[in-house]
Structure 1
Amino acid sequence: MRNISDVIEQHLKRILQESPTGSIEIQRSELADLFQCVPSQINYVINTRFTIEKGYIVESKRGGGGFIRIRKGQIVNRAKLQELLTEELIGDSISQSVGHSIIDRLLEEGIINSREALLMKTATSRSVLGVELELRDQLRANILKHMIAAILIR
């Protein structure tokens, strides 16, 4: 049985995919009514499942008549993608969960295949990088940057 967060995520992804503009505008309260949940559940789904590292851009306007706009970021070219990933998203340090979200995005976009994704996730997992946390996140960032560079220049 899927949980309510999975159901909300799939609903949003489906209407986003069907959108001719590539973006959707939703009202948090209307979506909460539709799924019979609290509005904070909608916030949780958007904040955890529609992040920049997963390829989404989220904008919001608060107050009466406010909305949340979600759009799928488009990959313009490999050089821009490499710059975005290595400089803005990965930086000098990255957690396992954020790193794996980036790998999932590369897989979804068809930039890597499932075997490459598995290898990248294995090489950057906490069980393989058996050093203290701060050093581990720095090492993971360095490994990911070099893997991405190698993939994007092929």
Structure 2
Amino acid sequence: MSNISDIIENYLKQILQAKGKNVIEIKRSEIADQFQCVPSQINYVINTRFTVEKGYIVESKRGGGGYIRIMRVIHQDKSDLIDEIISMVNPTVSQQKTIDVLERLLEEQIVTQREAKIMLSAIGRETLAFQLPLRDEIRARILTSMLRTLKYLNK
């Protein structure tokens, strides 16, 4: 069974897809009322599930007429997307941000499920048994190398 965060995330993604514009504006309090949760739960979902690494830009305006705007970043060229991710993960990248990047590569059909699992096992904290921040630096270098290989394989 899905938890409330998963349900809210799926709902917001369905709205994004249904609109076909890759942009939605929501009121945090209205979504919280709809799902009978506290508004901070909506913040949590947006802050963890709609990140730059996952291909989203989030803007918000506070106040009575405030809103949260979620935009899905669409790249015409997979090479440009890979370049953007490479710049995002350097000079260091955490395990969670790596997972987010791999999920995005899966969604964009740049890697298969199998390739993503192999990549994650190669750069996971169990494999890279170094102290921080060295571990995140090495992870970024290995991920960058993998991404460059993908970029040139896709051409």
Q: Same fold (TM over 0.5)?
A: yes
How far apart, in 1, do the equivalents of 2:113 and 2:29 lie? 37
Partner of 2:33: 33
Q: Once the 2 structures are TM-superposed, how far is the Cα of residue 2 of structure 1 from its aligned partner?
A: 1.6
Structure 2 runs not aligned, ≥5 long: none
How far apart, in 1, do the equivalents of 2:26 and 2:125 lie? 37
Q: TM-score, normalised on structure 2?
A: 0.95
Partner of 1:60: 60
Query: Identity, % of aligned pairs?
Result: 52
Structure 1 runs not aligned, ≥5 long: none
Per mean C-alpha deviation after superposition, the further-off stretch among 76-85 and 51-60 is: 76-85
Give the SS at the match of 1:128: coil
Aligned residues: 153
Contact 2:58 2:68 in 1 (8 A): yes
Per mean C-alpha deviation after superposition, the further-off stretch among 93-102 and 15-24 is: 15-24
Which structure 2 residues correspond to residues 17-96 of structure 1 after superposition, within 5 A?
17-87=17-87, 89-96=88-95
Partner of 1:105: 104
Q: TM-score, normalised on structure 1?
A: 0.95
Partner of 2:131: 132
Residue 14 in 1 paired to residue 14 in 2? yes
How far apart, in 1, do the equivalents of 2:46 and 2:92 lie? 24
Following TM superposition, the consecutive aligned residue runs of length 4 or more in structure 1 with deviations greater than 3 angstroms are: none
Look up the equivalent residue of 1:136 and give its one-letter code.
Answer: R
